[in-house]
Homo-oligomer: A and B are copies of this chain.
Amino acid sequence: MKESKPETSEIFGKKKSVLIANVVSGNKPVDIFIDASETITDIGQDIRKRHRGEAEFIIDGIGALALPGLSNTHTHAAMSLLRGYADDMILQDWLSQKIWPLEAHLTADDVYWGTKLACLEMIRTGTTAFNDMYFQMESAAKAVDEAGIRALLCYGFIDLGDAEKREHECRATEALAAHIKKMNNPRIHAAAGPHAPYTVSPEGLKWCAEFSKEQHIPLHIHLSETEKEVNDCISQHGKRPAALLDACGVLTSTTIAAHGCWLDDAECALLGKRGVSVSHNPASNMKLATHRALPYPQLAGAGANVCLGTDGCASNNNLDMFEEMKIAALLQKFFWNDPTVLPAPAALLMATTNGAKALGFGAGILAAGAPADIILISNRTPCNTPLHNAASNLVYSCSGAAVETTICNGRFLMLDREIPGEHEILAHAAQAASSLVKRAQTPV
């Protein structure tokens, strides 16, 4: 697909002026020019003539579909090491017998390699920004820094109502925010990360809301994934989870709430009023049998910013946002008994514009001046043949494997499916996962 094929060593990770000719965006043929910067310099029909002279490289897209890089608005990236470790179990058994015992042995090095693996998978499947909640987040930040994509990183704050534990979580949250500020990498932002209304006390929730406001950083939380947590919240606090969060100041236009399966109509209206971003995680919800789908029609109707996430690899088990778009569109139609709910263009918006808005990096659109976060999807595959309707093919027919080229912040991270250093990352991550399982099975 290259007109003047760049050598691997010439293009990857370098600042170069590149003209991407002959791609399709919004059903129109366009060329894209990036002048060795982090943003799109020019985009439009036949602009190749204007920029041909100044481009160090000219890449012929041969009709590939161009999209803004996708945004995964809820995941636990390092859980890629747990992919396939335990499935098909009751939620509580799965957590207490499998996931938590393994996580207890996770080292900073494991989180580093798990996040490297996750970033590799995201680059391969067209995701250029993600919203992550986990621990050992300095290691995650290092992995994201090296990978070249964007991430909003938070430490999963859990106090279980214990004041001493809360102090520890506040310090850990502050330390991560300070660390990320010091990194001074425009691709990496910190967030406050109160885990969920059922694992964080109202005091903890209020502290996180305050911290987020003071530091001008987003807030990332789990909300109403299961019916049980909603019932428990009503028993314990006398109100439903969204009302509890609102009373603690948690619901703002820089808040990303994940799951939301059991939100009722009043909660949807409240989230819409506050301008909250709600991350739909359909594959995880189905796999863990939440038994109710996110009320997408109500949330979208109320004006909430509904976006899309994969959740962690232990409960999905991949990070492919193309697959997630399809499963979202299918689940919404099936559960709400209406094939017109969440049509393909709306699913595509969830993964692009809405997701980018939630993450706050200013990406999610292909326009001059916007971040040069671009993916190219091959049109010369069965999944894009015929091409009656690009949005339909992207959502219902393609998987992330149709992505050929991934650019983030003006740098090429994958070109014609080649990612530098892929084999080393796969080998190290496999080794880390296997050693983790061995450690967890060895009685101390």
**A27-63 CB contacts (< 8 Å) to partner B:** none
**Contact residues in B for A338 (Cβ distance below 8 Å):** 289
Report if A105 contacts B (CB, 8 A): no
Report if A311 contacts B (CB, 8 A): no
Report if A399 contacts B (CB, 8 A): yes
Which of B318, B343, B423, B434 touches A88 (beta carbons < 8 Å)? B343
**A310-360 CB contacts (< 8 Å) to partner B:** 313, 316-320, 323, 326-327, 329-331, 333-334, 336-344
Complex formed: what's the CA distance from A285 to B88 in Å? 22
Assess the A340–B89 pair: CB atoms within 8 A.
yes
Chain A contacts to B: CB under 8 angstroms: 80-85, 87-91, 94, 117, 120-121, 124, 283, 285-291, 313, 316-320, 323, 326-327, 329-331, 333-334, 336-344, 380-383, 385-389, 392-393, 396-402, 423, 426, 429-430, 433-434, 437
**Contact residues in B for A291 (Cβ distance below 8 Å):** 334, 337
Q: Which residue in chain B gives the minimum CB-CB distance to A334?
A: B286
How far does the Cβ of A116 sit from chain B's closest Cβ, in whole Å?
10
How far does the Cβ of A349 sit from chain B's closest Cβ, in whole Å?
14
Assess the A339–B91 pair: CB atoms within 8 A.
yes
**Contact residues in B for A381 (Cβ distance below 8 Å):** 426
Given contacts A84-B396, A94-B339, A396-B317, contact A117 B382 (CB under 8 A): yes
**Contact residues in B for A342 (Cβ distance below 8 Å):** 88
Given contacts A289-B333, A331-B286, A433-B388, contact A399 B399 (CB under 8 A): yes
Q: Which residue in chain B gives the minimum CB-CB distance to A330?
A: B286
How far does the Cβ of A94 sit from chain B's closest Cβ, in whole Å?
7
Assess the B392–A340 pair: CB atoms within 8 A.
no
Given contacts A331-B286, A382-B117, A399-B401, contact A387 B84 (CB under 8 A): yes
Can you list 14 contacts pairing A with B, beta carbon distance less than 8 Å?
A87-B392, A87-B396, A88-B344, A89-B339, A91-B339, A289-B333, A289-B339, A291-B334, A317-B392, A323-B323, A380-B423, A385-B426, A399-B399, A399-B401
